[in-house]
């Protein structure tokens, strides 16, 4: 795949939930910014999913590359961090094609041919559904607070709002490819608005932006996320959530290969 050679998207994205953005639940009162636990708290919010929380909704993905542009509409189900199912609705040519994630296994169902492929080993680096995200991103297991040392600073103004900048340096033994990650969190509501990923040489390689925060079923989430590879001018992938429901009735059995075909 052409995009196989594209760079990896951030591991945190997975934690954030590519398939379903993990909304920030109402938390116990946050520690004050001077508290040494403040950083860990913020990171956990960024990382933490509503464990066991289920969701169902629609997702729109727009990919712009040097050569082409593409819009897709997908239906998405998820259960915690371990299960998710994404099914293409538009374009019509690919309607029915779906990706299933079950723990660390990834399957792709191809509607045109009715075949299911298990994504393994080397093909993990391949692009997911043609976007700038890779299959590996869906499956990776990075925990920001565990794997990074954090320094809290004042961040830049983003969309008129003041932010905290959490400068994350990977711990020596952390299994992360990045040299540094900056997480920008709004001072007002402690919602993450951006992430910047650096190579080991401290060069920014990737940028993630979170916009259009809404509250749904008591969950606050960004309904527009844009991922920009900084070495490819003009290219980006943008994901929107026009519809979403939480607390949906879903069981792990729903997330199975058989289900892929049945849908």
Partner 1 sequence: MDDLKLAWRNVWRNTRRSIVTIAATALALFVMIVYSGLVVGYIDGLQRNILDMEIGEIQAHEAGYREKPSLYSAIGDAPGFVAALEGAGFRASPRLLATGLGAGPDNSAGIQLIAIDVERDAKVVEVSQHVSRGAWLQTADTGVVLGWRLAETLNLGVGGELVVLSQGADGSMANEVYPVRGVLRGISDGIDRAGVFMTHASFRELMVFPEGSHQIVIRAPAGMELSEATRRAASLAPQGTEVASWKQLKPMLASMLDGARGATQVMAFVVYFAVGIVILNAMLMAVFERIRELGVLKAIGFSPAGILRLIVLETGIQTAVAIAVGIVLAIPTNLYMSRVGLDLSVLGNMSLMGVAWDPIWRSSVTSSTYVTPTVSLLVIVALAVTYPALRAAWIRPLDAIRD
Partner 2 sequence: MPGPRLPTLAWRNIWRNRRRTLITLVGIAFGTLLAVLSTGIGDSSYAEMIDYAARLGGGHVVVQHADYQKLPALNKTVAASEDLLQRVAAHPDVRAVVPRIRGGAMLATSSNNVGSGFIGIDPALESNQTLGLLDALAEGEMFATADDEGIILGRALAENLDVGLGKKVVYTLTNKDGEIVSGLSRVSGILDTGAAEVDSGICLLPLRTLQQLLGYAPGEVTQIAVFLDNHRDATEIAHQIGADLQGQLGSVVTALPWDEAMPDLAGFVTMKVTGSLIMQLIITLLITAGIFNTLFVSVMERMRELGILAAIGFTSRQLFALVVWESLWIACCGIVAGVLLTAWPYYYLATTGFDTAAMTGTQAGTQVSGITMSQVLYVEIYPDHAAVIGVAIVLATLLAGIYPAYRAGRVSPVEAIRTV
Residues that bind partner 1 (CB under 8 A): 1-4, 63, 65, 67-70, 91, 93-94, 97, 108, 110, 112-113, 115, 117-120, 122-123, 126-127, 129-130
Shortest Cβ 225–partner 2 spacing (Å)? 20
Q: Is 25 in the site for partner 2 (CB under 8 A)?
A: no
Place of tokens 């792990």: 252
Shortest Cβ 202–partner 2 spacing (Å)? 11
Shortest Cβ 169–partner 2 spacing (Å)? 13
> CA-to-CA distance for 156 and 148, rounded, in angstroms?
21
Cβ(128)–Cβ(68) under 8 Å? no
CB nearer partner 1, residue 36 or residue 114:
114
Residue whose C-alpha is closest to residue 28's, from 37, 20, 19: 37
Shortest Cβ 84–partner 1 spacing (Å)? 18
Q: Is 77 in the site for partner 2 (CB under 8 A)?
A: no
| Candidates 44-52, 136-144, 157-165, 244-252; binding stretch for partner 2 (CB under 8 A) | 136-144
Q: Is 136 in the site for partner 2 (CB under 8 A)?
A: yes
Q: How many CB atoms are closer than 10 A to CB 223?
A: 20
> CA-to-CA distance for 164 and 174, rounded, in angstroms?
24
Shortest Cβ 130–partner 1 spacing (Å)? 5
According to CB under 8 A, which one of 175, 214, 215, 252 is a site residue for partner 2? 175
Q: How many CB atoms are closer than 10 A to CB 199?
A: 15
> CA-to-CA distance for 152 and 37, rounded, in angstroms?
11
21 binds, among partner 1, partner 2, none (CB under 5 to 8 A by kind): none
Residues 198-237 that bind partner 2 (CB under 8 A): 198-200, 205
CB nearer partner 1, residue 78 or residue 108:
108
| Candidates 56-64, 170-178, 187-195, 240-248; binding stretch for partner 2 (CB under 8 A) | 170-178
Shortest Cβ 224–partner 1 spacing (Å)? 20
28 binds, among partner 2, partner 1, none (CB under 5 to 8 A by kind): none
Q: Is 177 in the site for partner 2 (CB under 8 A)?
A: yes
> CA-to-CA distance for 78 and 174, rounded, in angstroms?
27
Interface positions with partner 2 (CB under 8 A):
5, 7-8, 104, 120-122, 124-125, 134, 136, 139-140, 173-179, 197-200, 205
């Amino acid at each position: 795949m052409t995009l196989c050679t594209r760079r990896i998207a951030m591991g945190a994205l997975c934690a954030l939930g590519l398939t379903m953005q993990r909304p920030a639940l109402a938390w116990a009162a946050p520690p004050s910014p001077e508290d040494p636990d403040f950083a860990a708290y913020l990171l956990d919010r960024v990382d933490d999913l509503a464990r066991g929380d289920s969701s169902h909704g629609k997702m729109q993905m727009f990919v712009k590359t040097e050569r082409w542009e593409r819009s897709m509409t997908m239906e998405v189900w998820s259960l915690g961090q371990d299960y998710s199912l994404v099914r293409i609705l538009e374009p019509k040519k690919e309607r029915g094609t779906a990706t299933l994630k079950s723990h660390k296994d990834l399957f792709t169902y191809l509607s045109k041919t009715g075949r299911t492929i298990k994504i393994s080993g080397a093909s993990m680096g391949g692009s997911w559904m043609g976007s700038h995200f890779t299959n590996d991103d869906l499956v990776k297991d990075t925990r920001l607070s565990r794997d990074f040392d954090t320094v809290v600073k004042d961040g830049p103004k983003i969309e008129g709002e003041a932010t905290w900048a959490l400068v994350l340096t990977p711990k020596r033994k952390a299994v992360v490819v990045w040299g540094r990650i900056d997480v920008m969190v709004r001072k007002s509501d402690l919602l993450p608005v951006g992430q910047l990923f650096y190579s080991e040489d401290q060069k920014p390689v990737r940028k993630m932006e979170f916009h259009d925060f809404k509250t749904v079923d008591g969950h606050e989430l960004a309904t527009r996320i844009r991922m920009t590879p900084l070495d490819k001018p003009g290219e980006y992938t943008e994901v929107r959530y026009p519809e979403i429901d939480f607390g949906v009735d879903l069981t792990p059995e729903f997330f199975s290969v058989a289900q892929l075909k049945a849908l």
